[in-house]
Structure 1
Amino acid sequence: MNEIKIFCPATIANLNCGFDVLGLCLEGIGDEMIIRKVAEKGIRITKIIGADLPLETEKNVAGVAALAIVNAANPDCGFEIEIHKKIKAGSGIGSSSASAAGAVFGINELLGKPFTRQELVDFAMKGEALASGCEHADNVAPCVLGGFTLVRGYNPLDVIKIESPSEIYAVVLHPQIELKTSDSRAVLPSAVPLKDAITQWGNVGGLIAGLYTKDYELIGRSLQDVIIEPARKQLIPNFDLVKNTALQNGALGSGISGAGPSIFALCKGQEIAEKVAYAMSNSYLETGIAFDMHISKVNDEGVKTI
C-alpha cells in the first residue's frame, strides 16, 4: 500500500469540567487527508484545500506531527500529504488535532502499523503544540482513539478511552468567527481558589462515573465549569443566552467546545438533541453572526481509512 485516504474527525475538548484532560469524538464532521509513500525521504505537504495554511512542513500542524512519527520510525522512504480542510481553524472543534491525528495515523498505516493508537497520540501532540503553544491531548486523544477520552497524566502520557452511553448526542453551534487557541488561553487565571478546584475535581469524577454507569442525570449534574468558562465566555457573543436556552430545552449540559467559539450541548436521545439545536440556533440569530449547527452521536472509532 503506497497511498491512503483518511477521515479525521472533529472533537469536543474539555467538556466543561475537564480542561486539557477530557474530550469526545464526533461523527460526520471532519477533514480528509491523502498520504502517499514516496522514495525521497522527508515530509512534503503538496496541497491544502479549504484553508489558507502553510505548506512548509515545519510550520504546519500535520507536518510537525508527521516529522515526529517519521523520526521515531526512521523509514527508508518519505511521505507526501494532501489536506482537505473541512473543519475551520479556530473553530473550537479540533481543527489542528484532526490534521495532526490524520498525519500520524496515515503514516503509521503505510508503514505497517509499527505503533499502537495510544502511541500515535504522543506523536500527534507534537503537532498540536504548534497550534496552541503547548502539548495537550484533550483533542488528539479522542480523534485518534474515538469515544470519550480521559488524559490521566502527561508524564508519561496515560490516556483512558471510555465508550459512550448509547443515547448521548452532541449538538455544536459553530459561529463563523475565529478564536485562536493561544488567545483563548491568554485569558485564563494563573491561580485557582481551593474551593473552585474542589468543585471541579468533584465534577470530573462525577462525569466519569456517569459515563461508566450510563447515569444521564449524573452526567448532566457534572457538566459544570467554575474555572475556565467564567474567563472565556466573554470572548463568545451571546454565550450565556445560548447555554441557558440549551438547558431550558432539555440538554444535559452545555458549555464551550475546546477553546471556543463553538458552543456544545450534550443531550439524551436524538429527539431532544434536535429540539436543543433548533432552540440554540434561534437564540444566536440576533447576533447577526453566521453559524453552522451540527448534531452528532459520539464516534467510537476515531480517525479511519476511507
Structure 2
Amino acid sequence: MKKSVRAFAPATVANVSCGFDILGFAIDELGDQVEVTLRDEPGLRVVLIEGDGGRLPYEADKNTCTVAIQAMLDHHGFEGGMEISLYKGLPLGSGMGSSAASAAAALIAANTLLGDPYDKKELVNFAVEAERIACGAAHADNVAPSLLGGFVLIRDYHPLDVIKLPVPKGLYCTLLHPHLELNTSDSRSVLKKQLSLKDATIQSGNIAGLISGLYQSDFELISRSLKDVIAEPTRALLIPGFYELRIAIQRIGALGSGISGSGPTIFVLSPSRKVAEEVAIAGQEVFAQIGLEVDAFISEVNDKGAYVI
C-alpha cells in the first residue's frame, strides 16, 4: 500500500447559464493539488495549506478536503489516520469551483491510498458533503465535473444521479475573472425563493436545448439556449461590467456568456479558439474601462477530470 499520494483536480464552470445546480463542465490546467499521507494515529489532520493567503481553516470539520475524505472513510469503515497538504491554484470566492477542486483532489488521493475502492462517480457522493460545509448547499455541479471531467448533468440529488454529456469538437471557453470576490453563500442569498410558471417553463426549454445542442454539436442551438432567468438577473447586479461584456462578445461571434458558478468569474463559450482569444481581449478592454483588473483564461472542455500526479 502506498504511503503518500498527490492528486490534481481542475477548475469548473457550474450552472452554465440555464442549468442552475444541475450543469457544469471542467476547465484545463487551472486547479488545486492535494497530497494525502497515511499516518499511524487515527483521524484526519491538515498539516499544510499554501496559496490561500492564510484564510482556509485547518480544523478537520471545517476544511473541505478533510470533510470530503471523512465522509468517504465513514462509508468505507477505515479507522486509520491521514495527513493532508493542500496547494491552492484557484482563488477563493472566484466562481471557478475552488472548494470543489480541493475536495475532489483530496478524494482522489485518499481513495488511491485505500486501493481505489470507489470509482469517480461514487466519490461525488462524498464530495458534496464538502460543498455543504463550504457554502451551505450540497450541490454537485462543481464537484462532479471536477472529478469526472467533461460536461456533466446532475439529473437528480435524491439519490444522486450524475450523467456525463458529450462535448462538441471545437467548443472553447474563455474565463474572465475580475479582481473581485463573491462568497457563494452571499450569492445564494440574493436568489428568488419562488419561480413563476413562465420562468420555470423558459428555463426548462433552455436546459433541454443546451443538452440537445451538446449531443448534436449544434453551436447555434447551444447559443440560443445559453439564457438564465433564475439566478443571473439578480447575481449579475453584483458583477460590474457583466452586461457590457455581453454586448462586446456578440460582435465577435461568441456563442454566449454567463456567470461561472456564483461569480464573479464570467464564462464565454466560443465555436473556435480564435474567437475565444478575441473574447479574452474584448473582456480585458471592458473591465479596463471600469477600472477593474481581470485575469483571462482560454480552455477547451477538460474531459480528464481529477487524477493522481
Q: Secondary structure at the match of 1:265?
A: strand
**Identity rate, percent:** 48
Determine the structure 2 residue equivalent to 1:290: 293
Match of 1:164 among 162, 167, 173: 167
Map of 1:63-82 to 2, 5 A cutoff?
Answer: 63-82=66-85
Aligned mates of 1:240, 1:210 — CA distance in 2: 24
Q: Secondary structure at the match of 1:57?
A: coil
Determine the structure 2 residue equivalent to 1:148: 151
Determine the structure 1 residue equivalent to 2:92: 89
TM-score, length-scaled by structure 2: 0.97
Determine the structure 2 residue equivalent to 1:26: 27
Kindly state the Cα deviation for residue 77 of structure 1 after the two structures are TM-superposed: 2.2
Asked if the contact 1:247–1:254 (Cα under 8 Å) also holds between the matched residues in 2, the reply is: no
Are residues 1:40 and 2:41 paired?
yes
Which amino acid in structure 1 is aligned with residue 199 of structure 2? Answer: D
The one-character-per-residue Cα deviations of 1:96-121 (angstroms, maximum 9, x if unpaired) are 10011111111111111111211100
Which amino acid in structure 2 is aligned with residue 24 of structure 1? Answer: F
Aligned mates of 1:222, 1:89 — CA distance in 2: 29
Q: Secondary structure at the match of 2:61?
A: helix
The one-character-per-residue Cα deviations of 1:115-156 (angstroms, maximum 9, x if unpaired) are 121110010000011111010001001001100000000000
Range moving further from structure 2, 136-145 or 277-286: 277-286
Match of 1:243 among 246, 249, 268: 246
Aligned mates of 1:278, 1:267 — CA distance in 2: 14
Asked if the contact 2:64–2:131 (Cα under 8 Å) also holds between the matched residues in 1, the reply is: yes
Determine the structure 2 residue equivalent to 1:232: 235
Aligned mates of 1:173, 1:58 — CA distance in 2: 32
Q: Secondary structure at the match of 2:89?
A: coil
Runs of 4+ in 1 over 4 A off after TM superposition: none
Structure 1, gaps ≥5 residues long: none
Aligned mates of 1:3, 1:69 — CA distance in 2: 17
Which amino acid in structure 2 is aligned with residue 209 of structure 1? Answer: S
Q: Secondary structure at the match of 1:36?
A: strand
Match of 2:177 among 174, 177, 195: 174
TM-score, length-scaled by structure 1: 0.98
Determine the structure 1 residue equivalent to 2:266: 263
Asked if the contact 1:163–1:300 (Cα under 8 Å) also holds between the matched residues in 2, the reply is: no
Kindly state the Cα deviation for residue 230 of structure 1 after the two structures are TM-superposed: 0.4
Asked if the contact 1:32–1:84 (Cα under 8 Å) also holds between the matched residues in 2, the reply is: yes
Q: Secondary structure at the match of 1:24?
A: strand
Aligned mates of 1:174, 1:185 — CA distance in 2: 19
Aligned-CA RMSD value: 0.9
Determine the structure 1 residue equivalent to 2:51: 50
Count of matched residue positions in the alignment of Structure 1 and Structure 2: 306
Asked if the contact 2:73–2:79 (Cα under 8 Å) also holds between the matched residues in 1, the reply is: no
Are residues 1:101 and 2:89 paired?
no
Structure 2, gaps ≥5 residues long: none
Aligned mates of 1:246, 1:28 — CA distance in 2: 24
Kindly state the Cα deviation for residue 76 of structure 1 after the two structures are TM-superposed: 4.4
Aligned mates of 1:278, 1:83 — CA distance in 2: 33
The one-character-per-residue Cα deviations of 1:24-71 (angstroms, maximum 9, x if unpaired) are 000011111111122222111110001021111111111111110111
